[in-house]
């Protein structure tokens, strides 16, 4: 048994805001305080903040597009190479680190879970292979639907909500997924037919369905299946000036249904001002604040070289013109999806990039309810996850934020209200954005994201430091499943493999007959070689199956926060 | 034949080319396998190849127990300055063990599939491309340009599975054209003769025409350019390992795959000959961050297509130990004058007597294994069909790793 004593606990799901309390760990779990005299190893963490391990709900860490991104980022893989250490594997890379380094770097930041948000069904086995080699973090994936020909045909021929739900349920099981992601609804399929743009109510080639219909059908399917995480949406017109109109329309289209809007920064652009590019973050935040059915993550841009990897071939084909270095890869994938990979350098002297940075921060600061907004950079699309500490400081420290803002080009500053926003996030709120909130949004809160008895003992301890970037850059201690794996930012125990989190919803298996016929006729693949066996997943470590009881409600907190 | 005692396995994944067909019917009778339906000639031969009576590992030709062979291999690895891990015809579990061992012993990992595979990587890394997967290639294109005739050997069932399938989602009529190579036997494929030596030049010229450059070109090539220009979804397809002048050809083909998307669509689909090297490249990309060839000489992985090219390392004896892995019996190892440890499919005789020879099991036949298809996106699990006492590549490599002098290093 381990007793962490003297630390200030930030455990939003249990309403604890900085109270000094002991935390007890046994058999990999948080346990209630044992009777006096129980032998325990006591670790003094006085002066430290104690939080659940960080949870990244949107980070591209596994699958074919990451492999392509690494290929295109050859320079950084030459420049940053790490040798093996005692029990540690070697690797390379900065913004697209190799799998072992990805795990070590997350652990160093105090993170213990990360979720791959765009797994094409055809790539599921490969994505799980890769994620199994990311040590120290739990993992899971959202399977891509909404551009696959089987689904689009069901929708176009009016097969009905039940059949669609059965297919979605079947896919979640067959691919070992936790949730469903839609990217540019219908647009990836349309791009295969040369279509270059698609708005919410435009018809998508070749089946003539609209993104609105795709969104509603998949959203209803998930509700029927009672999958905890609602539809995870990368909407229409990513990156296009003026796309806020589509985003607002998308929110309204849901008519109260739960929706998670991902990397919303890339979808919050106006078309005002002298350069026809402006911030629409205030208008979007206002609607989000008024719609308790909406959650989001930001996809903050941080300045520097990175690479953008997305299933959105339509958007990435547009972005290819801005590739830096000048190279890009597109791919049509298996009558299901696509992928586009474009290296990109966000420059603080660029009007557009500076405004993107400001728009992301405006969203963070204008969305009122921290339970509905998750901290992400859409790794590596806005920046690598290793930039989170700097991002946290931007949210917590107005002076730091203002100083960064002052360095932006005048034209960009003129279009942002950022300096007028006084809000500074508290440690409690940061713990919501990076732990408790994502756990609740994903339906993991039974196991992860809190420090109450029964939770997995994934515990991050940070030395309190007024420089929040320094504070969050290196966990003082990190416990993974009760084992101490990081001390002062150094990985001690690289071995433990995280668990894989998924759902296995119930559905009518009769749908399999139709799926089989489609696979054999058009994809020329047998379901026996496509479906990921339960034993296969179990080979790669612990499998945690989360119950399908519907999306959890989004209250501000389980109970009133207790003051320290 | 005592067909009555044979068990029929359906939907068998074939590990013998990178198409990874999964519809084979195989009769299993004890250790004997026979493809009953759907297999190509290569599959029929490879499944049916009998296992030898004597499956013992050998040290310089003398039979020894596995422990002794693994121990000797570990000894050689422990004292090697630069071991070369090549062949890489194995399943994911075996390849994971290869990478771990190479990392630990400061070795080089290179499948040694030749200049074509390397040229293709270079083209993608330098300027990118637009690619497609097998199902896209089967369903969407209204025009397919086959460059050379290597596709037939690389992927024997390509014609029925991709080029002229029984069913397609998109029913627009399709034109199939083959530039160069021997005249195709399928009447559906139009042949544009081109001597092998001129193929690169013709493709360069074709690209120039499609970019509206003022070039002098024969009428047949102009007609091809027009056909490509007016098609809506074009597929460019070639067999990587058999391309002549691959550096030039793949550069132009990758560029074409991007440029043609300015109007309409186009994708490229290169064919690898075998799944092991495809699997290895994906694994290396995630575990080390870089593709083959990868060297761990200073402890950290490094991609260097010149320094770590296996052909050069073995020719110049810069690598002082060859570890060759071929669980499927695809390719003979290169004849080298340095010590060699060969892990090869049981029943395949190597072209020389190596220091260590360990017959191993074949994934998909003797044990389950994960393999990646030529399009790199789809991984399939090939299941085992029969019981043999043969160890898998992963098991042998684990035994070798366990016998290394300093297990903690």
Q: Rounded distance, CA A323 to CA A308, Å?
A: 9
Residues of A in Cβ contact (< 8 Å) with B134:
334, 524
Residues A280-293: tens digit of each pLDDT: 999 999 999 999 99
Domains of chain A: 51-491 (3.20.20.140)
Q: Rounded distance, CA A324 to CA A339, Å?
A: 18
Instruction: Report pLDDT for B4.
Output: 56
Beta strand A2-5 with B321-326: parallel, antiparallel or unpaired?
A: unpaired
Q: Residue A184 in contact with residue A312, Cβ under 8 Å? A: yes
Residues B243-283: tens digit of each pLDDT: 988 999 999 999 999 999 999 999 999 999 999 999 999 99
Q: Nearest-CA distance from B350 to chain A in Å?
A: 32
pLDDT band at A564 (very low <50, low <70, confident <90, very high): very low
Q: Where are the beta strands (DSSP E) in A403-510?
A: 459-463, 477-480, 483-487, 490-491, 500-503
What average pLDDT does range A399-417 have in this prediction? 98
* Averaged confidence pLDDT in chain A: 96
Q: Contact A70/B289, CB-based, under 8 Å?
A: yes
* Chain A 121-180, residues with CB within 8 Å of chain B CB atoms: 122-123, 125-126, 129-130, 133, 149
Q: Residue A532 in contact with residue A176, Cβ under 8 Å? A: yes
SS3 A539: helix
Chain A: residue nearest B139 by CA? A522
Residues A22-50: tens digit of each pLDDT: 999 999 999 999 999 999 999 999 999 99
Q: Contact B289/A529, CB-based, under 8 Å?
A: no
Beta strand A111-119 with A54-56: parallel, antiparallel or unpaired?
A: parallel
Residues of B in Cβ contact (< 8 Å) with A96:
289
Q: Contact B133/A332, CB-based, under 8 Å?
A: yes
- Tokens 């047949």 — which residue? B220
Chosen from B162, B378, B409 to mutate, greatest number of chain A CBs within 10 A: B378
What average pLDDT does range B89-114 have in this prediction? 97
pLDDT band at A551 (very low <50, low <70, confident <90, very high): confident
Instruction: Report pLDDT for B182.
Output: 97
- DSSP secondary structure string for all residues of B235-299: EEEEEGGG-SSHHHHHHHHHHHHHHGGGSSEEEEEEE-S-HHHHHHHHHHHHHTSSPSSEE-TTS
Residue B168: exposed, middle, or buried by beta-carbon count in 10 A (0-12, 13-18, 19+)?
middle
Q: Residue B250 in contact with residue B150, Cβ under 8 Å? A: no
Q: Rounded distance, CA A535 to CA B202, Å?
A: 51
* Residue B281, token pair as written in the block: 């490249």
Q: Rounded distance, CA B71 to CA A458, Å?
A: 41
Beta strand A138-144 with A477-480: parallel, antiparallel or unpaired?
A: unpaired
Of residues B125, B265, B300, nearest to A92 (C-beta): B300
Q: Rounded distance, CA A134 to CA B328, Å?
A: 29
Q: Residue A394 in contact with residue A418, Cβ under 8 Å? A: no
> Angle at which helices A351-366 and A388-396 pack, to 10 degrees?
60
Q: Contact A329/B380, CB-based, under 8 Å?
A: no
Q: How far is CA A489 from CA A10, A35, A105, A473, A496, in A?
A: 20, 33, 9, 8, 17
Of residues A70, A522, A528, nearest to B139 (C-beta): A522
Residues of B in Cβ contact (< 8 Å) with A323:
128
Chain B: residue nearest A517 by CA? B167
Instruction: Report pLDDT for B406.
Output: 72
Q: Residue A473 in contact with residue A393, Cβ under 8 Å? A: no
Q: Nearest-CA distance from A149 to chain B in Å?
A: 8
Query: Nearest-CA neighbor of B177 among B189, B188, B187, B186?
Result: B189
What's the per-residue H, E or C state across B186-208?
Answer: CCCEEEECCCHHHHHHHHHHHHH
SS3 A207: coil
Residue B230: exposed, middle, or buried by beta-carbon count in 10 A (0-12, 13-18, 19+)?
exposed
Cα three-residue angle B43-B133-B147, rounded to 5 degrees? 75
Residues of A in Cβ contact (< 8 Å) with B372:
126
- Tokens 């390392």 — which residue? B313
- Tokens 């996850």 — which residue? A385
Beta strand B379-382 with A477-480: parallel, antiparallel or unpaired?
A: unpaired
Question: Does residue A554 surpass a pLDDT of 80?
Answer: no
> Considering chain A, what percentage of its residues have pLDDT values greater than 70?
98
Q: Rounded distance, CA B252 to CA B201, Å?
A: 10
Q: Rounded distance, CA A220 to CA B133, Å?
A: 30
Residues B29-81: tens digit of each pLDDT: 999 999 999 999 999 999 999 999 999 999 999 999 999 999 999 999 999 99
Residue A25 phi/psi, 5-degree rounding, is -125, 130
Q: Which residues pair with A52 in a beta bridge?
A: A459
pLDDT band at A87 (very low <50, low <70, confident <90, very high): confident
Residues of A in Cβ contact (< 8 Å) with B167:
521-522
Q: Where are the beta strands (DSSP E) in B20-173?
A: 24-29, 32-37, 58-59, 62-63, 83-89, 108-110, 128-132, 143-147
Question: Does residue B116 surpass a pLDDT of 60?
Answer: yes
Beta strand B32-37 with B24-29: parallel, antiparallel or unpaired?
A: antiparallel
Residue count of chain A = 564
Residues A261-277: tens digit of each pLDDT: 999 999 999 999 999 99
Which of B169-189 are b and which e, b meaning 16 or more Cβ less than 10 Å from the residue's Cβ? bbeeebbbbbbbbeebeeeeb
Q: Contact B376/A64, CB-based, under 8 Å?
A: yes
Domains of chain B: 3-48 (no CATH), 58-113+275-403 (3.40.50.740), 117-271 (3.40.228.10)
Question: Does residue A361 surpass a pLDDT of 90?
Answer: yes
Residue A563: exposed, middle, or buried by beta-carbon count in 10 A (0-12, 13-18, 19+)?
exposed
Question: Does residue A561 surpass a pLDDT of 50?
Answer: no
pLDDT band at A559 (very low <50, low <70, confident <90, very high): very low
SS3 A379: strand
Say whether the peptide bond before residue A232 is cis (omega within 30 degrees of 0).
no
Question: Does residue B3 surpass a pLDDT of 60?
Answer: no
Cα three-residue angle B269-B275-B277, rounded to 5 degrees? 90
Question: Does residue A557 surpass a pLDDT of 70?
Answer: no
DSSP A335: T
Rounded to 10 degrees, what is the CA torsion of B99, B105, B106, B110?
A: -40
Residues of B in Cβ contact (< 8 Å) with A77:
289-290, 303
* Residue A84, token pair as written in the block: 């093996």
- ipTM of the shown complex: 0.97
Q: Contact A81/B130, CB-based, under 8 Å?
A: no
Phi/psi-derived region of residue B237, left when phi > 0, alpha when psi is between -120 and 50, beta in every other case: beta
Residues of B in Cβ contact (< 8 Å) with A126:
282, 372, 377-379
Instruction: Report pLDDT for A562.
Output: 40
Q: Residue A214 in contact with residue A146, Cβ under 8 Å? A: yes
Of residues B23, B132, B264, nearest to A331 (C-beta): B132
A-B interface: how many C-beta pairs under 8 angstroms? Answer: 194
Interface membership of A420 toward B (CB under 8 Å): no
Residues of A in Cβ contact (< 8 Å) with B258:
328, 330
Instruction: Report pLDDT for A86.
Output: 84
Widest CA span of chain A, in angstroms?
72
Residues A514-528: tens digit of each pLDDT: 999 999 999 999 999
Q: How far is CA A518 from CA A526, A533, B270, B315, B388, in A?
A: 10, 20, 25, 50, 36
Q: Residue A242 in contact with residue A269, Cβ under 8 Å? A: yes
DSSP A456: B
What average pLDDT does range A392-408 have in this prediction? 98
Residues B202-256: tens digit of each pLDDT: 999 999 999 999 999 999 999 999 999 999 999 999 999 999 889 999 999 999 9
Q: Residue B258 in contact with residue B130, Cβ under 8 Å? A: yes
Residues of A in Cβ contact (< 8 Å) with B11:
526, 528-529
Instruction: Report pLDDT for A8.
Output: 98
């Amino acid at each position: 048994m381990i007793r962490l004593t003297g630390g200030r606990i930030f455990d939003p799901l249990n309403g604890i805001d900085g109270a000094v309390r002991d935390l007890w760990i046994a058999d990999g779990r948080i346990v209630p305080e044992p009777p006096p005299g129980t032998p325990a190893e006591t670790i003094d963490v006085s002066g430290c903040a104690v939080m659940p391990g960080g949870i990244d709900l949107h980070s591209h860490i596994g699958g074919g597009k990451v492999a392509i991104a690494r290929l295109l980022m050859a320079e950084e893989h030459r420049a940053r190479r790490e040798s093996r250490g005692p029990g540690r594997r070697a690797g390379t890379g900065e913004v697209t680190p190799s799998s072992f380094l990805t795990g070590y770097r997350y652990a160093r930041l105090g993170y213990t879970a990360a979720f791959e948000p765009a797994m094409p069904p055809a790539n599921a086995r490969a994505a799980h292979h890769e994620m199994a080699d990311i040590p120290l973090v739990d993992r899971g994936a959202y399977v891509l639907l909404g551009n696959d020909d089987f689904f689009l045909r069901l929708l176009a021929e009016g097969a009905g909500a039940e059949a669609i739900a059965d297919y979605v349920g079947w896919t979640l099981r067959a691919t070992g997924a936790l949730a469903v992601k839609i990217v540019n609804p219908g647009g990836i399929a349309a791009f295969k037919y040369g279509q270059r743009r698609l708005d919410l109510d435009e018809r998508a080639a070749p089946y003539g369905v609209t993104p609105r219909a795709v969104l509603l059908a998949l959203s209803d399917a998930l509700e029927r299946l009672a999958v905890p995480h609602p539809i995870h949406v990368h909407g229409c017109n990513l990156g296009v000036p003026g796309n806020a109109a589509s985003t607002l329309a998308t929110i309204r289209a849901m008519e109260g249904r739960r929706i998670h809007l991902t990397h919303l920064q890339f979808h919050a652009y106006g078309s005002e001002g002298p350069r026809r590019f402006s911030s629409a973050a205030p208008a979007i935040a206002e609607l989000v604040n008024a719609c308790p059915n909406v959650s989001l993550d930001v996809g903050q841009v941080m300045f520097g070289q990175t690479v953008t990897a997305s299933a959105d071939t339509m958007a990435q084909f547009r972005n290819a013109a801005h590739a830096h270095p000048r190279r890009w890869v597109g791919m049509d994938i298996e009558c299901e999806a696509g992928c586009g990979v474009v290296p990109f350098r966000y420059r603080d002297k660029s009007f557009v990039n500076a405004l993107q940075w400001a728009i992301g921060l405006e969203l963070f600061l204008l969305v009122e309810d921290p339970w509905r907004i998750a901290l992400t950079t859409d790794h590596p699309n806005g920046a690598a996850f290793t930039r989170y500490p700097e991002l946290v400081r931007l949210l917590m420290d107005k002076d730091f934020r203002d100083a960064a803002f002052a360095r932006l080009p005048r034209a960009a500053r003129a279009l942002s209200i950022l300096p007028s926003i006084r809000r500074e996030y508290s440690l409690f709120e940061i713990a919501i954005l990076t732990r408790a909130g994502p756990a609740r949004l994903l339906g993991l809160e039974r196991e992860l994201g809190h420090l109450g008895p029964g939770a997995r003992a994934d515990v991050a301890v940070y030395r309190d430091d007024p420089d929040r970037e320094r504070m969050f850059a290196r966990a003082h201690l990190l416990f993974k499943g009760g084992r101490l794996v990081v001390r002062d930012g150094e990985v001690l125990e690289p071995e433990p493999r995280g668990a894989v989190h998924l759902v296995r919803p119930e559905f009518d298996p009769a749908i399999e007959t139709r799926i089989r016929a489609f696979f054999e006729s058009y994809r020329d693949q047998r379901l026996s070689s496509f479906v990921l066996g339960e034993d296969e997943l179990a080979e790669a470590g612990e499998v945690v199956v989360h119950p399908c009881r519907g999306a959890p409600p989004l209250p501000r907190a389980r109970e009133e926060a207790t003051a320290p | 034949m005592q067909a009555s005692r044979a068990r029929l396995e359906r939907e068998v994944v074939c590990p013998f080319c990178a198409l990874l067909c999964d519809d084979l019917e195989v009769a299993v009778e004890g250790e004997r396998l026979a493809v009953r339906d759907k297999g190509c000639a290569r599959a029929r031969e490879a499944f049916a190849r009998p296992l030898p009576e004597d499956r013992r590992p050998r040290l310089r030709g003398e039979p020894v127990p596995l422990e002794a062979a693994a121990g000797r291999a570990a000894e050689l690895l422990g004292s090697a300055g630069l071991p070369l891990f090549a062949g890489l015809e194995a399943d994911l579990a075996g390849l994971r063990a290869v990478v771990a061992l190479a990392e630990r012993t400061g070795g080089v990992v290179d499948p040694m599939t030749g200049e074509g595979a390397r040229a293709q990587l270079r083209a993608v890394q330098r300027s990118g491309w637009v690619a497609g997967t097998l199902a896209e290639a089967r369903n969407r294109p209204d025009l397919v340009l086959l460059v050379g005739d290597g596709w037939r050997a690389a992927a024997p069932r390509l014609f029925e599975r991709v080029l002229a399938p029984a069913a397609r989602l998109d029913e627009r009529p399709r034109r199939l054209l083959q530039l160069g190579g021997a005249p195709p036997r399928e009447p559906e494929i139009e042949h544009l003769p081109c001597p092998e030596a001129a193929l690169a030049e013709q493709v360069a010229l074709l690209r120039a025409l499609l970019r509206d450059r003022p070039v002098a070109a024969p009428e047949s090539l102009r007609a091809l350019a027009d056909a490509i220009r007016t098609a809506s979804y074009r597929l460019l397809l070639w067999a990587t390992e058999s391309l002549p002048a691959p550096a030039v050809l793949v550069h132009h083909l990758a560029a074409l795959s991007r440029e043609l998307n300015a109007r309409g669509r186009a994708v490229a689909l290169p064919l690898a000959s075998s799944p092991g090297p495809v699997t290895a490249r994906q694994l290396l990309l995630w575990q080390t961050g870089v593709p083959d060839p990868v060297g761990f000489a200073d402890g950290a992985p490094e991609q260097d297509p010149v320094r770590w090219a296996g052909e050069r390392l073995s020719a110049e004896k810069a690598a002082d130990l060859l570890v060759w892995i071929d669980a499927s019996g695809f390719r003979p190892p290169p004849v080298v004058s340095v010590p060699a440890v060969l892990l090869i499919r049981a029943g395949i005789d190597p072209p020389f007597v190596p220091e260590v020879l360990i017959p191993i099991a074949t994934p998909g036949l003797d044990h389950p294994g994960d393999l990646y298809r030529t399009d790199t996106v789809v991984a399939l699990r090939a299941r085992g069909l029969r019981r043999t006492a043969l160890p898998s590549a992963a098991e042998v490599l684990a035994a070798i790793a366990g016998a290394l002098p300093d297990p903690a290093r």
